[in-house]
A = this chain, B = another copy of it.
Amino acid sequence: MTALQRIVEALLFLSPEPVSTAELAEACESTEAEIDRAIDALEPTLDGRGVVLRQVAGGWTLAAHPDAEAAARRLLAKPRTPPLTQAQAETLAIVAYLQPVSRPEIARIRGVSSESAVQTLTERGLIEESGRSRFGAVIHRTTPLFERLFGLAGLDALPDPARFDPSPEDERELRERLLKAGEQRAE
Residues of A within 8 A of B (CB): 1, 3, 5-17, 19, 23-24, 26-29, 45, 48-51, 62, 64-65, 67-68, 71-72, 74-76, 85-87, 112-117, 119-120, 122-125, 128-129, 145
Contacts and interface: CB of A to CB of B under 8 A. Distances in A.
Q: Which of A8, A12, A29, A120 has the most CB of B within 10 A?
A: A120
A7 B51 CA distance: 9
A9 B49 contact: yes
Given A113-B123, A123-B112, A125-B116, A14 B49 contact: no
Contact of A13 (B15, B24, B62): B62
A74 B26 contact: yes
A124 B49 CA distance: 28
Nearest to A75: B27
Nearest to A69: B10
B125 A14 contact: no
Contacts of A76: 11, 14-15
Contacts of A124: 115-116
Contact of A145 (B8, B27, B29, B116): B116
Contact of A51 (B9, B123, B145): B9
A16 B123 contact: yes
A179 B18 CA distance: 36
Contacts of A87: 122-123, 125
Contact of A65 (B10, B74, B114): B10
B48 A11 contact: no
Contacts of A112: 119-120, 123
Contact of A67 (B6, B15, B24, B29): B6
Contacts of A129: 85-86
B125 A117 contact: yes
